[in-house]
Amino acid sequence: MEVRIAVPLRDFYNGHEHEFSIEKQQICEECEGSGSADGAVDTCSQCGGRGVVVQKHMLAPGIFQQMQMQCDKCSGKGKTIKHKCPVCNGQRVLKKVVTHTLQVEKGMPKGSRVVYENEADESPDWEAGDLVVHLGEKEAGYEEGLREDGGFFRRKGRDVFWKEVLSLREAWMGDWERNLTHLDGHTVRLGRKRGEVVQPNQVEIVQEEGMPVWLQEQEQERAGEEEFGKLHVEYTVVLPDQIEKPMEKEFWALWEKWRKKIGVNLGSDSGRPEHTEL
Interacting residues toward Zn ion by CB under 5 A? 28, 30-31, 44, 46-47, 71, 73-74, 85, 87-88
For residue 81, the minimal CB distance to Zn ion (Å) is 10
Q: Please identify, using beta-carbon distances, which residue of 32 and 177 lies nearer to Zn ion.
A: 32
Sheet holding 159-167, edge to edge: 154-156, 159-167, 231-238, 203-206
Residue 119 beta carbon to Zn ion: minimum distance, rounded to whole angstroms = 21
Dihedral (CA of 196, 198, 202, 204) sign = positive
Q: What is the full DSSP assignment across 21-64?
A: EEEEEEE-TTTTTS-BSSS--EEPTTTTTSSEEEEEEEEETTEE
C-alpha separations of 3 from 97, 98, 110, 258 in Å: 14, 13, 14, 67
Q: In terms of CB distance, is 5 or 87 closer to Zn ion?
A: 87
> 30 or 226: whose CB is closer to Zn ion?
30
Residue 41: CB minimum distance to Zn ion, A: 12
Distance of alpha carbon 94 from alpha carbon 141, whole angstroms: 39
Q: Which is nearer to Zn ion, 31 or 213 (CB)?
A: 31
Q: How near is the Cβ of 73 to Zn ion at its closest, in Å? A: 5
Of the two residues 50 and 158, which places its CB atom closer to Zn ion in the complex?
Answer: 50
In 176-223, beta strands by DSSP E: 176-181, 187-192, 203-206
CA dihedral 107, 111, 117, 119 (to 10 degrees): 110
Q: How far is the CB of 76 from Zn ion (least distance, A)?
A: 7
How far apart are CB 120 and Zn ion at their closest, in Å? 20
Q: Report yes or no: 128 and 234 within 8 Å, Cβ to Cβ.
A: no
Q: Which distant-in-sequence residues (6+ apart) come within 8 Å of 80 by Cβ? A: 41, 42, 43, 44, 45, 73, 74
Nearer to Zn ion, 72 or 196 (CB): 72
Rounded alpha-carbon distances, angstroms, from residue 262 to 14, 18, 100, 247, 253? 56, 66, 73, 23, 14
Q: Smallest distance from the beta carbon of 123 to Zn ion, in angstroms?
A: 13
- CA–CA dist 269, 253 (Å, integer): 18
Q: Minimum distance between the CB of residue 64 and Zn ion, rounded to whole angstroms? A: 22
Looking at the Cβ atoms of 94 and 132, the one nearer to Zn ion is 94
Residue 46 or 181 having the CB closest to Zn ion = 46
- Report the SS3 class of residue 139: coil
